[in-house]
Structure 1
Amino acid sequence: MNDLDTRAGPRAALRRAAPALVGYAAVRALGLLVLAVWSAERGKSAYTLLTARWDALWYGRVAEGGYGYEVRLPNGDVHADLAFFPLLPWLERGLAAVTPLSHADAGFVVTLLASGAAAWGIFAVADHVYGRRAGVCAVLLWAVLPVGIVQSMAYSESLFTALAAWSLYAVLTGRWVTAGSLALLAGLTRPVGVAVAAAVWAAGLASFARDRDAPPSRAPRPPPSFGQTRSVFTASGAQLSPHAPSPTVTAPHSGASPVPRALGMLLAPLGAVGYVLWVGLHTGKGPLGYLDVQAGWRNGFDGGWAFARFVGARLTSFPSALAGVALIVGVALLIWLYVTCVRGRQPLPLLVYAGIVTVLALCASSYFGSKPRLLLPAFPLLFPPALALARLRTRGAALVVGVFAVASAVYGAFWLNGSGPP
């Protein structure tokens, strides 16, 4: 997406994103088809796995009866539904109220719509920074992630990613109030919403700093040319295929009125902060009472120490050592991707957002099997491989995506019919 498409209206923007959205829908349809066949062979319901298991049950309970449900385990742990942020159950309740759908059905519909919006948002960001072809490739890579089936579950990952992606796009195009409003909603969706708010704040502070350092002038500064912005936002080696159009990158607008920026920054953290404070008030445990709720789930932030011990324990015997090595390789790959993004001079809000999402996912102290799912929203990490894929000819890129799509579909069906996401 570029500024011309935005001015031309949603139809032109949708036409530009159509290849990405069609490809995304095809990958997700393949995943659902394989899941349905795999589940039927084992006498299970694929729809139940998507809408009425694990976290989906908790969201459904909140949507149906509000907060207040908890489970006390024999070891003394308390699993309270207050750990789950409210936007998804609010949407489920609202949709169920105006349609014949159950809350589980409503959750599935919300997820399908949100996953499409997320794919479009990821395309918009990548297209704005790197061009249309890279945008299509970024969406397809997000679709074929090994745990991509979560994008079709009644979980909050798709909704959060949609809000985060469009908030970041609004930041990159200088729509500060929109960016702050979407960040507020992201903060009502998942705890990691703080990453979106931080990205808005980082971009806002950088914009104010540019205004302060800029020489006074009565005329507004023209937006930087492609030659100027490419040195800021793209890697020297991240050239697109000859088939891709030139990127049309612009920095978040400075030189305009500071009021929208300040308002966007003010709005951004209100969702996450508001819910956390409400939980503290509701539980009577003070402003940080939400941390006690998370502690009941044995979840917290320990800088990655528990995860490191978990990986180390895998290395002590065979064949679990293979899993340990795979985890080490996976973490190393994430670090390499982030370093590549930094060296490629991605826009500051993308770096801040992806960095915080990655750190929070890797450094959580519990539910190690859910870490790949927690990393789903960190889509800017996919931009370097998307650029590499964009350099291939269309037939070669389609072959790569096809192979990964089949592998993702098979893995998703195997995963949900086995341990599944906690």
Structure 2
Amino acid sequence: MTDLATRVAPTRAGALRRAAPALLGYAAVRALGLLVLALWSAVRDKDPYTLLTARWDALWYTRVAELGYGYEVQLANGDVHSNLAFFPLLPWLERLVAAVSPLSYADGGFVVSLLAAPAAAWGIFAVAEHVYGRRAGVCAVLLWAVLPVGIVQSMAYSESLFTALAAWSLYAVLTGRWVTAGTLALLAGLTRPVGLAVVAAVWAAGVAAFVRDRGGAGEARGADGATRLPGVSVRRALGMLLAPLGAAGYVLWVGHRTDKGPLGYLDVQAGWRNGFDGGYAFAVFVAEKFTSFPSALAGAGLVVGVGLVVWLYVVCVRQGQPLPLLVYAGVVTALALCASSYFGSKPRLLLPAFPLLLPPARSLARLGTRRSALVVGALAVASAGYGAFWLNGSGPP
């Protein structure tokens, strides 16, 4: 693998020019999704903006921004849903937007996603272009945009914000910007529990780099023959130290607040019947689908979907993706598939696992502009229709 610290990133202006086709294509796909949502919602006499900003998790984030932590709901079965389950960065940003503008907290959540989504798309392009070239970068962004649950990227949820921080942190690792990588990993850790995936990626890359340095020839010179500055190791160590502070800080704070010890956050998640059981509960859920004919079709679809995700990860490994991308995608995928509750949320939880899209992006890039445009166009229409149907129905829990 090419030494991560020796790859040179383009200038900011040049990078933006190179990313422009991907960002314009992304904006077009998202605009189509919002247009179809508006039309579908009008037919069903629903407000599309409410669907995007004031339902499900968006309401919990808004309550954190408005009331702070401590709000909880006790269900009839005794479960306690506490807003401590929601990490603080998005509510902090919602509060900031409301403080500096006439917008509400819910409006602030939408604004954050409106800005974070293209930032995430740009970060995905930067990573994909760095590893596989510009055409693959454009295709990776477009594939991320046309995912069936792509509408979540426009909701007042934390997925877009998290993906932006994760993608740029990974890009910083790939280009040897260790302090930037660690800082962005810290912020990702304040956004979602899966911020652990970004921390793991930074640490895996850092440890691998230190091992290479101690290997002998790489100690004094990089892979390109350039003399390695002693400060690189210091910056790398600093980035690694910064990376876990966000997630660890919030988890420890929750434990202190709840008087349940350092891992009190796990008790908060247990109140939502959420945890990590290695996928047992999900396997039971899928198996139960095969007890009757209509639901068996859904069960078969779930098996195919999980198989596709696992297969894509195997392809990522075989194609030799850089270590930080493999670690990040592996942890995101494991946490999504092995969570013990909210099975309908799994497609949404997999949304940040964009390195899984790099193999199909490479294949799509080889089709040529016309054929790849037809494929992306068809997927965009399907994604827009599914997103509108989804939000006007059960929606993302």
Regarding TM over 0.5, the answer is yes
Distance change >3 Å, CA 388–CA 304, structure 1 → 2: same
**Cα distance in structure 2, aligned partners of 1:357 and 1:217:** 32
Distance change >3 Å, CA 259–CA 49, structure 1 → 2: same
1:344 corresponds to which of 316, 319, 322: 319
**Cα distance in structure 1, aligned partners of 2:377 and 2:156:** 25
**Cα distance in structure 2, aligned partners of 1:177 and 1:255:** 15
Q: Deviations over 1:226-280 (max 9, x none)?
A: xxxxxxxxxxxxxxxxxxxxxxxxxxx8976310010000000110000000000
**Cα distance in structure 2, aligned partners of 1:350 and 1:258:** 21
Residue of structure 2 in register with 1:361 after alignment: 336
Are the equivalent residues in 2 in contact too, given 1:221–1:255 (CA < 8 A)? no
Residue of structure 2 in register with 1:332 after alignment: 307
User: With structure 2 as the length reference, what TM-score do the two structures score?
Assistant: 0.96
**Cα distance in structure 1, aligned partners of 2:229 and 2:141:** 29
Are the equivalent residues in 2 in contact too, given 1:5–1:12 (CA < 8 A)? no
**Cα distance in structure 1, aligned partners of 2:223 and 2:287:** 54
Q: Which 5+ residue runs of structure 1 have no aligned equivalent?
A: 226-252
Are 2:269 and 1:267 aligned? no
Question: Root-mean-square deviation (CA), in Å?
Answer: 1.6
> For residue 276 of structure 1, what is the amino acid of its counterpart?
V
Matches within 5 A, 1:333-412: 333-412=308-387
Matches within 5 A, 1:48-127: 48-127=50-129
> For residue 222 of structure 2, what is the amino acid of its counterpart?
R
**Cα distance in structure 1, aligned partners of 2:219 and 2:269:** 52
Are 2:47 and 1:45 aligned? yes
Are 2:260 and 1:285 aligned? yes
Are 2:192 and 1:190 aligned? yes
Are the equivalent residues in 1 in contact too, given 2:158–2:192 (CA < 8 A)? yes
Are the equivalent residues in 1 in contact too, given 2:123–2:167 (CA < 8 A)? yes
SS at match of 2:217: coil
**Cα distance in structure 1, aligned partners of 2:277 and 2:42:** 41
**Cα distance in structure 2, aligned partners of 1:254 and 1:366:** 48
Percentage identity across aligned positions?
Answer: 78
Q: Which 5+ residue runs of structure 2 have no aligned equivalent?
A: 1-5
**Cα distance in structure 2, aligned partners of 1:224 and 1:320:** 60
Report the Cα offset of residue 223 of structure 1.
Answer: 2.5
**Cα distance in structure 2, aligned partners of 1:215 and 1:386:** 35
Distance change >3 Å, CA 312–CA 22, structure 1 → 2: same
User: With structure 1 as the length reference, what TM-score do the two structures score?
Assistant: 0.91
Residue of structure 2 in register with 1:323 after alignment: 298
Matches within 5 A, 1:135-146: 135-146=137-148
Matches within 5 A, 1:219-298: 220-223=221-224, 257-298=232-273
SS at match of 2:73: strand
Report the Cα offset of residue 12 of structure 1.
Answer: 1.5
Residue of structure 1 in register with 2:3 after alignment: none
**Cα distance in structure 2, aligned partners of 1:153 and 1:203:** 32
Residue of structure 2 in register with 1:210 after alignment: 212
Runs of at least 4 residues of structure 1 off by over 3 A?
Answer: 2-5, 253-256
Residue of structure 2 in register with 1:20 after alignment: 22
**Cα distance in structure 1, aligned partners of 2:121 and 2:218:** 41
> For residue 395 of structure 2, what is the amino acid of its counterpart?
G
**Cα distance in structure 2, aligned partners of 1:221 and 1:208:** 12
Report the Cα offset of residue 214 of structure 1.
Answer: 2.5
**Cα distance in structure 2, aligned partners of 1:296 and 1:151:** 27
Q: Deviations over 1:95-134 (max 9, x none)?
A: 1100111111111000010001000000000000000000
Q: How many residues align?
A: 391
**Cα distance in structure 2, aligned partners of 1:63 and 1:216:** 48
Q: Deviations over 1:391-417 (max 9, x none)?
A: 011000000000000000000000000
SS at match of 1:392: coil
**Cα distance in structure 2, aligned partners of 1:257 and 1:118:** 27
